[in-house]
A and B are shown apart, each in its own frame.
Chain A
């Protein structure tokens, strides 16, 4: 009877590095794409008004008023800036940047009051805050007004 020598490595598949690298590449590409598209929660910080002891004189503030109507229209010192559907509000952004530049030049704080009608949407207030943040205006106060 003929004897056959058995190779212990025969029939077993070795660790394949090439498909592993392929898979890792695909997974990495997926996460790279996801990293750009991910929706993040951000915030706008503010402080509620209160009584503070003043030790030195308070500088004169150049206060501007932005009104938000219940329909979503935005007015800057009673002048229309953006209609209801306009989320980007380029005109308001430009105006706020100019206000900030003027206040910086005059060395006075730029103070903004957002006067919203009772039924004005919160999303609209955040649109205005976004414009203020872009312009670098940090002194913002909120005010509620009755609809006209």
Chain B
């Protein structure tokens, strides 16, 4: 009978080529899921809180990312937007407004077109400093705010 895999006598042989194909596909899959999770917007000295029940980050939206670092010695927050440090809240609000203006010209990749502010606050930050950022977002006319967290400790 014609067809069928394997060698003679109807005995299927171990095929090395498809096994290598499967292996390589699995390798690429695991490589992509580990490298895709690498946090692109990392700021030195920023230690986000841990919250396993947070939802998956939506990276398709137009957003202004406000990093709130905590100066433990001075007991004061340091605001960082796009790598630049701001100590005054007024500057933060103005910067958010500028990013919002620039973001409005570009259409977001995802379905949700609303501009948002992502607050990446250090776990040691005071509630008052986070509240100040919310005020700045409100001043810039943005109601949609997200708090960034890690899913687990370490790593």
Contacts of A50 in B (CB 8 A): 143
Known A-B contacts A38-B37, A48-B134; A24 and B24 likewise in contact (beta carbons under 8 Å)? yes
Identify which of B78-86, B92-100, B103-111, B124-132 touches chain A: B124-132
Among A31, A41, A45, A126, point to the contact of B34 (Cβ < 8 A).
A31
CB closest residue in chain A, given B56: A42
Chain B: residues with Cβ within 8 Å of the partner, total of 53
Name A's B-contacting residues (CB within 8 A): 17, 20-21, 24-25, 27-28, 31-32, 34-35, 37-48, 50, 68, 87, 116-123, 125-127, 129-130, 133-134, 142, 144
Q: A121: which B residues are within 8 A, CB to CB?
A: 123-127
- A48 — which chain B residues lie within 8 A by C-beta? 134, 137-138, 142-145
Report yes or no: A39 in contact with B30, Cβ–Cβ below 8 A.
no
Least CB separation from B142: chain A residue: A48
Judge whether A42 and B149 touch: CB under 8 Å. Answer: yes
Q: Contact check, B127 vs A127: say whether CB atoms are below 8 A apart.
A: no
**Does A133 contact B51, Cβ atoms closer than 8 Å?**
yes
B149–A31 CB distance below 8 A: no
**Interchain CB contact under 8 A, A44 and B128:** no
